[in-house]
């Protein structure tokens, strides 16, 4: 693979992938957090309603509580905030390496600049993949019944 192929087909592709995935995870994290804040606020202000007038409050509040528990579990399971920050960091680090390479700044001001770029970029991607693998191993395995 030559320099142009690597930059276009590998490095730019990975930068775009991490950038997209970071954005998706950020949106989901923020959406769920906003829903949790709204629901927690609704539970808090439910105390001011007269249960004899607002009889339905006894049904709505437990449902909101259950939704809070489920959404909190989803945040823990899907790790949206962690993925958002990890993917953003990897994307920005890859961009940083690419721009240093394109401008021939240290350490890319030598005759083997392309090899250095490949090694450093692949190390960044490998590190992120390794972190993901470690997290995936910690998740409970499904058991067949």
The predicted structure's pLDDT at residue 52 = 87
Residue 120 covered by a domain: yes
Domain hosting residue 49, numbered range: 3-137
User: Sign of the C-alpha dihedral, residues 79, 85, 91, 94?
Assistant: negative
pLDDT for position 139 = 61
pLDDT tens by residue, 117-138: 999 999 999 988 777 777 667 6
User: Over the stretch 75-96, which tens digit does the pLDDT of each residue have?
Assistant: 999 999 999 999 999 999 999 9
Residue 121, in any domain of the structure: yes
Domain assignment present for residue 142? The answer is no
Q: Note whether residue 8 is domain-resident.
A: yes
Overall average pLDDT of the 35-62 stretch: 91
In this prediction the pTM is 0.82
For the chain, the three-class secondary structure string (H helix, E strand, C coil) is CCHHHHHHHHHHHHHHHHHHHHHHHHHHHHHHHHHHHHHHHHHHHHHHCCCCCCCCHHHHHHHHHHHHHHHHHHHHHHCHHHHHHHHHHHHHHHHHHHHHHHCCCCCCCCCCHHHHHHHHHHHHHHHHHHHHHHHHHHCCCCCCC
* 144 within some domain: no
Please say if the pLDDT value at position 145 is more than 70.
no
| Number of independent structural domains in the chain | 1
Report the alpha-carbon distance of residue 103 to residue 106 in Å, rounded: 9
**Which pLDDT belongs to residue 130?**
79
Residue 143 counted as domain residue: no
My answer on whether omega of the bond before 107 falls inside 30° of 0, hence cis, is: yes
Distances (CA, A) of 88 to 16, 24, 42, 82, 107: 10, 11, 33, 10, 23
- Residue 95 counted as domain residue: yes
Q: Look at the block and give the residue holding tokens 């395995």.
A: 141
Q: What is the mean pLDDT of the chain?
A: 91
Establish if 96 belongs to a structural domain: yes
**Direct distance between the N- and C-terminal alpha carbons of the chain, in angstroms, rounded to an integer:** 48
């Amino acid at each position: 693979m030559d320099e142009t192929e690597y930059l276009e087909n590998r490095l730019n592709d990975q930068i775009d992938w991490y950038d997209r995935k970071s954005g998706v995870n950020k949106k989901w994290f923020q959406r769920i957090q906003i829903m949790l804040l709204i629901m927690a606020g609704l539970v808090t202000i439910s105390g001011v309603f007269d249960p004899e007038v607002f009889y339905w409050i006894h049904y709505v509040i437990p449902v909101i509580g259950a939704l809070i528990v489920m959404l909190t579990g989803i945040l823990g399971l899907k790790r949206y905030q962690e993925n958002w920050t990890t993917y953003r960091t990897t994307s920005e680090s890859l961009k940083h390496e690419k721009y240093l390479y394109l401008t021939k700044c240290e350490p890319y001001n030598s005759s083997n600049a392309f090899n250095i770029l490949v090694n450093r970029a692949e190390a960044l991607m490998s590190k992120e993949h390794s972190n993901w693998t470690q997290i995936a191993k910690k998740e409970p395995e499904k058991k067949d019944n």
